[in-house]
Structure 1
Amino acid sequence: MIEKILGNYISFIRSFETLLKDKYKQDINPCSFSRTFFERIGSIDGIEYYFHGSGCTARRDDVIYAYDISLNEIQFSQWELNELIRTHPEYQKLNYSDDYIAYELFQLINKDVLNWLILEGIDGKSFGCVFKSYRVIQESFFD
């Protein structure tokens, strides 16, 4: 079920980005042009959004979709995925533990669908910390 949840999460993010790209006639990720072409806080097509740093928190029907973007790669922490599950009427009934979610995400790393997000310092050296953050490296897996 985590695969289905993650697939829906990615689909929502890409659909939301497409709405913004179409409205503002841009062909780059909205995180890249949010400061220039539109307010960082707003709404579009029933989705309230707030761009922050390298990411965005979007809310539709009280369901929270929080994520980060690096170039065109979706990145998320386990906390951000937990927020989606916690606020989604269908997913919250599953009562998944943090450990179960972490295990399922690790299985997707083993399938080369996700990868760890390694944080780097200013000088380009890795801090060596993972913080249960992930990078989506194979979106086609969810199609």
Structure 2
Amino acid sequence: MNEAIKELVNKYINNIKDFHSVLCRVYHLPKPPTYNEAGRLFPRDGLLQIGDDTYSYRYHGSGCTLQKNDLIIDYDLDILNGFNVSITSWKFSRFVESYSTGTPALDTDNLEKYFVELAEEGFLVRLYQDRYVFLKDIE
């Protein structure tokens, strides 16, 4: 199961990288944006049509809720510890459920358990002891 979760984490991260690349191209940003730059260097929320892909996004707090076509990608950026994406089991389960539409569902009830195992393997890094938040570098 961990291999399936790893693959989905990589897809999650790659979709965020893709979105950041789109923002850089569309708004002529020199580097991927942080939530602090939303509303100053580019609109805090918007709808972008790039080829066959539609990106609907809204920056909030320390993160962004993104819908790329039918995928839901809700993430936070931890810019204090590098340029990383915080992954929580709840936010990640939203991605998994939207990604898995029409395919056999992944067991999202045990995501926290899988995240702990992936942290023990060194694939993810556990940030907080009281909740399951992990960092995955997106630079």
SS at match of 2:66: strand
Counterpart-to-counterpart distance in 2, 1:62 and 1:92: 14
Equivalent residue number for residue 41 of structure 2:
37
User: How many residues end up aligned between the 2 structures?
Assistant: 128
Counterpart-to-counterpart distance in 1, 2:102 and 2:62: 26
Alignment pair present for 1:60 and 2:68? yes
Report the CA distance shift for 1:116/1:92 in structure 2 as closer, same or farther (over 3 A): farther
Counterpart-to-counterpart distance in 2, 1:135 and 1:3: 13
Alignment pair present for 1:103 and 2:113? yes
Counterpart-to-counterpart distance in 2, 1:117 and 1:91: 33
Counterpart-to-counterpart distance in 1, 2:108 and 2:43: 36
**Counterpart residue identity of residue 23, structure 1:** V
Report the CA distance shift for 1:68/1:91 in structure 2 as closer, same or farther (over 3 A): farther
Counterpart-to-counterpart distance in 2, 1:21 and 1:67: 18
**Counterpart residue identity of residue 56, structure 2:** E
**Counterpart residue identity of residue 48, structure 1:** S
Counterpart-to-counterpart distance in 2, 1:38 and 1:66: 19
Equivalent residue number for residue 13 of structure 1:
16
What displacement does 1:18 show?
A: 0.8
Equivalent residue number for residue 93 of structure 1:
104
Q: How big is the alpha-carbon RMSD for the aligned residues of Structure 1 and Structure 2?
A: 2.1
- Greater helix share, 1 or 2? 1
**Counterpart residue identity of residue 119, structure 2:** I
> Moved runs in structure 1, 4+ residues, more than 6 A?
none
Q: Which runs of 5+ in 2 are unaligned?
A: none
Report the CA distance shift for 1:29/1:107 in structure 2 as closer, same or farther (over 3 A): same
Kindly indicate whether the alpha-carbon contact (under 8 Å) linking 1:117 and 1:130 is maintained by their aligned counterparts in 2: no
Report the CA distance shift for 1:108/1:27 in structure 2 as closer, same or farther (over 3 A): farther
Q: Which runs of 5+ in 1 are unaligned?
A: 119-128
Counterpart-to-counterpart distance in 2, 1:97 and 1:16: 24
Kindly indicate whether the alpha-carbon contact (under 8 Å) linking 1:50 and 1:57 is maintained by their aligned counterparts in 2: yes
TM-score by length of 1: 0.78
Identity %: 21
What displacement does 1:49 show?
A: 0.4
Equivalent residue number for residue 115 of structure 1:
125
Equivalent residue number for residue 70 of structure 1:
78
